Amino acid sequence: MDKIVKTIAEELNIKEKQVENTIKLIDEGNTIPFIARYRKEVTGGLSDEVLRDLGERLTYLRNLEQRKEEVVKSIDEQGKLTDEILQAVAIAKTLAEVEDIYRPYKQKKKTRATVAKAKGLEPLAKIIINQEEKKPIAEIAKEYINIDTLSEEDKKNKDKVVATAEDAIQGALDIIAEDISDNAKYRKEIKKLCYREGLIETSASKPDEKSNYEMYYDFQEAIKFIPSHRILAINRGEKEDFLKVKIEKPEEKILNYIERDIIKGDTQFTVMLKDTILDSFKRLIEPSIDREIRSDLTEKAEDKAIKVFGKNSKQLLLGAPIKGKTVMGFDPAYRTGCKIAVIDETGKVLDYTTVYPTEPQNDVEGAKKELLKLIEKDKVDMIAIGNGTASRESEMFVADLIKEAKRPVQYVIVSEAGASVYSASKLATEEYPDINVSIRGAISIARRLQDPLAELVKIDPKAIGVGQYQHDVNQKKLAESLTGVVEDSVNKVGVDVNTATPSLLSYVSGINKTIAKNIVKYRDEHGKLKNRKELLKVPKLGKVAFEQCAGFLRIFDGDNPLEITAVHPESYEVTEKLLEKLGFKVQDIKEKEKLQELRNKLKTINVPQMAKELGVGEMTLSDIIEELSKPGRDPREDMPKPILRSDVLKIDDLKEGMVLTGTVRNVIDFGAFVDIGVKHDGLVHISEMSDKYVKNPSDVVSVGDIVKVKVIKIDKDRQKVSLSMKSI
């Protein structure tokens, strides 16, 4: 355990005590959001991201230790365990290294070497590898000819016959070739050389065929420099049969390294050993090393892609909600018509319809008439347009439409990723049993503008669609990572226990799907919950779950004003004492004037001194002060608001040098896609993100950011726009 603690502390650059304490909390069954928020004193204030990395590494390193024990036990049972093997296993840092050590002791399928061993040729292999025998090897090999001693039946079996001295020598060399291939020291050094000096080379499988992979039709890059998005692109090109992939290795150096270790001067064995080393490398080592390197590169690239995807998803989930507005959801389409749904400020559906302003019907006038009527009748403030097929044509229609409206209406483009997945889901059917599947998408688009988090938790996180190659990566890892991202986002914001859907509640720390449904059922049967303690009456929500979830659930208009904040019930007593010391009562946080007075007083607190007086940790006290200063505040209010538009741009309106304001829609390894109001998002390449060197685009921008960009290149044929964020 000490070793694991030390390793994690070094990797994450934190103190061993922080790691130790966090592991204890995880092992006790505490969730990451709970630890991050309410156990800061114990962890030294580690963030949810660091805690998730710590949890991942803990799982990996525990699996590694378990595998080491299994390998040592297996080798020991074979009677082949040595101090050298024990030492090698003890210092191995990865599962791959452990498997390399175990390789020679694994039960093997039939190979040329296992056949040779069964023929009794191991002693001859030892003579050759030791290179000490002065007698000609051909003479020694004759002693291993066994054809005369075999039964007639056995003579028919090639796997048992040693007919000539040449057969005996070849069999012995096959044993040596496999031993060389299984040598963990050699494999480690070969991999090191490949990572340091190797190249990834790709060529076209179908040179005359056009594809998205043309830049890789004749391509090479050093393994040590190749970025993860290129690894995943190459993998996809290979899978779709457009590319052939090869790893170019420093073969001469590898062969020299093995020869120096094996060959002892110039003897009768030198040439045959050189040939055997080459055979071992070409036939056995190279194919498996290629597989391992490709697999290792892919795993690292996938991990990076999953991290990018998680970061983008978090930004999208934490997008600023637009509250108190009646929204018209506009789900664009061509042939089947644009689906329209109007929802009030609480998310209740007021009206829905289908209009046909786009191809092939082009009923612009009919659509205008119907929607203007709805805008007036339902007092629509905003129109949320999905960004899918026919989005820009719909945007042009809406821009014209709102000029004729009697009331001020603005529109905004909303990501509709996953809306169709949600529309056809069991959950959508439960929510809107009497509403057609196609209309549900428009409701989802409208609601995403009002509260992105509450709406996006209803769909599979993979369908949010703000990453790169999310369908190519390890789906189990992706699902785990994204579930963590959603949990962190939901718990960061907090959830109104009296209005939240089961989908939203199920992401709250300590609450599973069953408990989430039970909370809603309890609410339906007993009315709104008046205080957090009442949660203990919900079936299956016991003391442990209560401790984990209570601080993240909000109760507005309840018995205790503290329950609109993230102050945990375990800190109520301390909070009341603090307020008393300052001359206030809990009820005062609900009164505007008193709250302003309280805010001023809270600013004057000497935190270390007050923490001692109250017998509470400084970090916990700081959190309580922050919550009392802004009771019921939604942390998403600090996020950039969506750009509201009332007119539309076409690619023909763009000119090089033009400066525009846009919304970052996606951040990837090589830059960011920015919605500037034309049909396709423009690309800000990593080299155009700043006047300074940028290593990682997500250090500069996040999904949802509002940025100023300059148009630097327009490709009208391919409908592509290149943008820059330099010196604007």
- The owner of tokens 């800190």 is 571
pLDDT at residue 649 is higher than 70: no
- Give ∠ CA 511-457-557 in degrees, rounded to 5: 65
Cα–Cα distance, 251 to 194 (Å, whole number): 9
In this structure, of 99-103, 422-426, 626-630, the range with the lowest mean pLDDT score is: 422-426
Could you give the strand order of the β-sheet that contains 338-343, starting from the edge strand earlier in sequence?
349-355, 338-343, 327-331, 382-386, 410-414
Q: What is the pLDDT of residues 369-411, one digit of tens each?
A: 999 999 999 999 999 998 878 887 888 899 889 999 999 999 9
Residue in 121, 116, 72 with CA at minimum distance from that of residue 92 = 72
In terms of Cα–Cα distance, which of 527, 531, 535 is closest to 508?
A: 535
What is the pLDDT, as a whole number, of residue 20? 95
Q: How far apart are CA 371 and CA 376, in angstroms?
A: 9
Query: What is the arithmetic mean of pLDDT over 79-87?
Result: 91
CB-CB contact of 3 with 45 (8 Å): no
- Average pLDDT (452-479) is 77
The pLDDT value recorded for residue 462 is: 73
Question: 355: which residues sit within 8 A by CB, 6+ positions away?
Answer: 337, 338, 340, 363, 366, 367, 370, 371
Q: Which among 30, 18, 13 has a CA at the least distance from the CA of 619?
A: 18
Q: pLDDT at position 309, please?
A: 84
pLDDT at res. 589: 87
Place of tokens 């209010």: 637
> What homologous superfamily does CATH list for 2-105?
RuvA domain 2-like (1.10.10.650)
Q: What percent of the chain has pLDDT over 70?
A: 98
Band (29; pLDDT cuts 50, 70, 90): very high
Looking at residue 1, its pLDDT comes to 64
Q: Quick one: how many helices (H) and strands (E) in the chain?
A: 31, 15
- Residue 423 has, within 13 A of its CA and on its CB side, a CA count of 18
Q: Residues with Cβ < 8 Å from 36, sequence gap 6 or more?
A: 43, 46, 47, 48, 51, 488
State which amino acid sits at residue 310.
G
Token representation of residue 144: 């291993």
pLDDT at position 705 is 84
Angle at 420 between CA 418 and CA 426, to 5 degrees: 95
Domain boundaries, the chain: 2-105, 112-304, 327-450, 651-724
Whether 494 contacts 553, CB under 8 Å? yes
Give the model's pLDDT for residue 7. 94
**What interhelical angle do 475-493 and 286-317 show, nearest 10?**
20
Cα distance between residue 97 and residue 89, in whole Å: 8
Determine which helix (DSSP H) or strand (DSSP E) holds 639, and give its type and residue range: none
Say which amino acid occupies 258. Answer: I
Burial of 547: CB neighbours in 10 Å, binned 0-12, 13-18, 19+ = middle
pLDDT tens per residue across span 435-450: 888 899 999 999 988 8
Q: Which residue's entry shows tokens 């390789």?
A: 103
Judged against a pLDDT cut of 60, whether residue 467 lies above it is answered with: no
- Crossing angle between the packed helical segments 95-102 and 184-197, to the nearest 10 degrees: 140
**Mean pLDDT, rounded, for 186-197:** 94
288-315 confidence digits (pLDDT tens): 999 999 999 999 999 888 888 888 888 8
In DSSP terms, 359 is beta-bridged to none
Mean pLDDT taken over the chain: 89
DSSP 265-284: SS-TTHHHHHHHHHHIIIII
pLDDT surpassing 80 at residue 219? yes
State in words which class domain 327-450 has. Answer: alpha beta
Overall fold of domain 651-724: OB fold (Dihydrolipoamide Acetyltransferase, E2P) (2.40.50)
Q: What is the pLDDT of residue 70?
A: 94
Rounded distance between C-alpha atoms, residue 616 and residue 155, angstroms: 85
**DSSP-assigned letter for residue 194:** H
The fold for domain 112-304 equals Tex N-terminal region-like (1.10.3500)
Distance CA 437, CA 431 (A): 11
Q: What is the pLDDT of residues 674-723, one digit of tens each?
A: 888 777 788 999 998 988 888 888 888 888 888 888 888 888 777 788 89
The pLDDT value recorded for residue 475 is: 83
Query: Cα separation of 683 and 594, whole Å?
Result: 50
CA 431 to chain centre: 29
**Would the pLDDT of 275 be above 90?**
yes
Nearest-5° Cα angle at 422, 419 to 428? 130
pLDDT in tens, 537-592: 999 999 999 999 999 999 998 899 999 999 999 999 999 999 999 998 999 888 88
